[in-house]
Amino acid sequence: MMGMPKGGRLFLATCLCSFFVLVLYFQSITKPEPALKTSSRPGKSRRSPLQTLYKGDQKQLKLSAAQKSLQGRRKVLEQACLSHTKKRRVLSPEDLKHLIVDDKHGLIYCYVPKVACTNWKRVLMVLSSNGRYSDPLAIPANEAHVAGNLRTLSDFSVTEINQRLRSYLKFIFVREPFERLVSAYRNKFTRNYNTAFHKRYGTKIIRRHRANPQPEALEKGNDVSFREFIQYLVDPQTQREEPFNEHWERVHSLCHPCLIHYDVVGKYETLEPDAHAVLRLAGVEGKVQFPTSSKSTRTDGNMAARFFKHISPFYQKKLFNLYRMDFLLFNYTTPEYLRTR
């Protein structure tokens, strides 16, 4: 090499230098990214729960039927969002008020009224209480809904919000849209104890959609019919005045599933296995159990059909168009009892 001309030595040195740069480059791109720091969540496996659900090897965990179903739902949701949404927008803090955060276990849950949200809030209160609560059912239902008992994503800064959305397990539970709607009507307008809803919404509905109402009905608002409730929902003036109440607001408007990438979409129709799968993915199935339902008169498809029997095809079609996106995004078929043609 000493006898090599100066130009040749320079060329050889350049080649060797380029070779070492290429070696370093390929080492860097094949080296796995470091795992997120998990010391703030004691007892959690270093293996991401999403890896377990979506990339897990069968030796670690055989996917249950519920988990396979969860995989399929997420794919259906992603495809529906691509097919049926065109414009994307930036979320505001107001959009994030339904997303409950458990920093201790790295969870984000978007609660939807009339889809077991009381019990999910109870479960999250147990998980985030540092031992104050141990049994979800020991927590009174009204306490589960007290603002401030659980933190929401809107409480954080933009940087903190984005960090949590990137790294936490995000889940949502949905329900057949019209069964949820009938459940909301039954709970808010046919129960004597819901006087606040009667005053707030019932009086307005009766004043606007009942011919010649009695003075007592205008004062109390406690005898709203299902037909009047539907007329109120499809009336364009309703949403011009104010947003829907959360109990009958569409799920896609509460939780923004085409803007927020939910890892798990659970369903009310398969509540218990789906809830168990979520707790297993979160690594907390030994710490808390999801409460089983004791309701004997749960609103189902047969009950919804009885309520819709007296709704005209004109209003059925308008209502279906109003809730159409929830049917599409969460893969619910058009109810057989609807007469929209």
User: What pLDDT does 55 receive?
Assistant: 54
How far, rounded to the nearest angstrom, does the alpha carbon of residue 310 sit from its chain's CA centroid? 32
The residue ranking higher by pLDDT, 63 or 222, is 222
- Interval 144-192: pLDDT, tens: 999 889 999 999 999 999 999 999 999 999 999 999 999 999 999 999 9
- DSSP of 316-338: HHHHHHHHHHHHHHTTPPPPTT-
Give CA–CA dist 168/162, Å, rounded: 10
3-class SS shares of the chain: helix, strand, coil, % to 5: 55, 5, 40
Average pLDDT, whole number, for the chain?
Answer: 84
Structure tokens at 159: 């940087």
* Intra-chain end-to-end CA distance of the chain, in Å: 90
Q: Are strands 99-102 and 151-152 parallel, antiparallel or unpaired?
A: antiparallel
The residue ranking higher by pLDDT, 49 or 135, is 135
User: What pLDDT does 149 receive?
Assistant: 92
Structure tokens at 337: 């009892």
Confidence check: pLDDT of 124 > 70: yes
Torsion of CA 51, 57, 59, 65, to 10 degrees: 80
Amino acid at 258: C
What's the mean pLDDT in 289-299? 80
- Interval 217-258: pLDDT, tens: 999 999 999 999 999 999 999 999 999 999 999 999 999 999
Confidence check: pLDDT of 261 > 90: yes
Domain locations along the chain: 63-177+248-282, 179-247+300-309
Angle value at C-alpha 306, between 302 and 308, nearest 5 degrees:
110
Confidence check: pLDDT of 57 > 90: no
Q: Sign of torsion, CA 232 234 235 238?
A: positive
Q: Sign of torsion, CA 94 95 98 99?
A: negative
Max mean pLDDT range (65-74, 142-151, 286-295, 314-323)? 314-323
Confidence check: pLDDT of 35 > 50: no
Contact present, 136 and 119 (Cβ < 8 Å) = yes
Report which secondary-structure segment, H or E, holds 101: strand 99-102
User: What pLDDT does 187 receive?
Assistant: 96
What's the mean pLDDT in 293-319? 90
